[in-house]
Structure 1
Amino acid sequence: MTLTTAPNLQIAEHRCPDCAQPFRRITGFVHRDGAPYAVFYASCHHHDGNDVLLDAIFGTWEGDDQSDHVTFGCRIGPVPGQPGPAVQLIPAAVSFEAAPLFGHKLSREEAQGHPRFDDFRELVQHVLSTNTIIGSHLSAAPQS
């Protein structure tokens, strides 16, 4: 089964509510074998080095029913003592207001035990290996 990102990425500039620094948010739609599969939001911040807060929503994408949606979240960025960026689970979609689109926003613990956890890991790997904007952000020298 193959994941692909739709070519119509949405890129928007925002200000971080915590540090007031500008950041870029990328919204992408991912397909599995050509069928709608997930939506991701990648927020490229400049906190402790360059990091990305990535939220991914899985569920049914036909019609208006969002009752089966579930959202995972992770931070991708520097971790002391580790070369290169690391992926760490975090509570999902904390930067977003509650909305039906997100469905159930999983905690770190809920995410680890969720049946779609491997789907999320695969999506994160896909996004990191195919999105040049995110890759450039993670590899850039931190802003001072």
Structure 2
Amino acid sequence: MELAIDPDRQVKSLACDCCETPFDRVTGFINNENGAYAIYFASCYHHDGVHDAWIDVIMDDHWDADAPATRPGAGRVTFGCRVGPVEGHDGVACSLVGAARLAADIPLYGRKLSRGEALDHPWLVAYWDTVDHILENDPTVSAHLYGV
């Protein structure tokens, strides 16, 4: 499956709710050969010299071409992970977390998966493929985590 980040992605500079430290949030669509594939939010933080990103990916079994963000299919779910340093591990690692924990419960997200639900979900492999694509191809996220 060929994935591509839509060029109309948006980057907003915001302030962390807990400490007012500035961070960037990327919002974008990911397309595949059939059109809309996923929506992602990547929040790139740097607290106390630690660079990490929290990535939520919304996946759906049926994207409405006219309103992909507001008309969820029956299977719409959101996965979440933290990407950054992990104790005992060299470099950057991905850790599955509860999805969109700070976001409002609105139809956009469908069902927000807990870590346990995500581990058992049949789309988990597709989610990790999507995260890999974001890490490699989103310039804001790549520069934040890898300095490239």
Please report the TM-score for the alignment, with normalisation by the length of structure 1. Answer: 0.91
Question: What is residue 71 of structure 1 aligned with on the other side?
Answer: 78
Question: Which digits, 9 at most, give the CA deviation of each residue in 1:12-62, with x for residues without a partner?
Answer: 111111222111000110011141000000000113600000000011221
Instruction: After the TM superposition, list the runs of 4 or more consecutive aligned residues in structure 1 that deviate by more than 2 angstroms.
Output: none
Structure 2, gaps ≥5 residues long: none
- After TM superposition, the structure 1 = structure 2 runs for residues 104-143 of structure 1, keeping only pairs within 5 Å, are 104-140=111-147
- After TM superposition, the structure 1 = structure 2 runs for residues 33-72 of structure 1, keeping only pairs within 5 Å, are 33-47=33-47, 49-59=50-60, 60-62=62-64, 63=67, 64-66=70-72, 67-72=74-79
Question: Which digits, 9 at most, give the CA deviation of each residue in 1:95-134, with x for residues without a partner?
Answer: 2111100010000000000011111010001011111211
Question: Which digits, 9 at most, give the CA deviation of each residue in 1:51-94, with x for residues without a partner?
Answer: 00000001122155314310000000011221111000010001
Please report the TM-score for the alignment, with normalisation by the length of structure 2. Answer: 0.89
Equivalent residues of 2:71, 2:107 under 8 A apart: no
Root mean square deviation of aligned Cα: 1.4
- The percentage of counterpart residues that share the same residue type is 39
* Letter paired with 1:53: W
The alignment covers a number of residue pairs equal to: 140
Structure 1, gaps ≥5 residues long: none
